[in-house]
Amino acid sequence: MNVFRILGDLSHLLAILILLAKMWRSKSCAGISGKSQVLFALVFSTRYLDLFFVFISLYNLVMKVIYLLCSYITIYMIYGKLRKTYDRENDTFRLEFLLIPVIGLSFLENYDFIPTELLWTFSIYLEAVAILPQLFMISNTGEAETITTHYLFFLGLYRALYLANWIWRYHTEKFYDQIAIISGVVQTIFYCDFFYLYITKVLKGKKLSLP
Amino acid sequence: QEPSKTHDEL
What residues in B contact A162, CB-CB < 8 Å? 9
A35/A74 Cα distance (integer angstroms): 11
Of A60, A112, A174, the CB nearest to B8: A60
Residue A54: pLDDT above 70?
Answer: yes
A90/A161 Cα distance (integer angstroms): 31
Q: What is the end-to-end Cα distance of chain B in Å, rounded?
A: 21
Q: Is A151 at the interface with chain B, CB within 8 A?
A: no
Express each pLDDT in A148-198 by its tens digit.
Answer: 999 999 999 999 999 999 999 999 999 999 999 999 999 999 999 999 999
Q: Is A12 at the interface with chain B, CB within 8 A?
A: yes
Strands annotated E in A27-99: none
A203/A129 Cα distance (integer angstroms): 25
CB pairs under 8 A between A and B: 36
A155/A188 Cα distance (integer angstroms): 10
Express each pLDDT in A97-141 by its tens digit.
Answer: 999 999 999 999 999 999 999 999 999 999 999 999 999 999 999
A162/A177 Cα distance (integer angstroms): 12
Per DSSP, what are the bridge partners of residue A209? A143
Q: How confident is the model at residue B3 (pLDDT cuts 50, 70, 90)?
A: very low
B10·A178 Cβ contact <8 A:
no
A26/A124 Cα distance (integer angstroms): 32
Question: Residue A159 in contact with residue A190, Cβ under 8 Å?
Answer: no
- What ipTM was reported for this prediction? 0.85
Q: Is A49 at the interface with chain B, CB within 8 A?
A: no
- Cα R_g (chain A), whole angstroms: 17
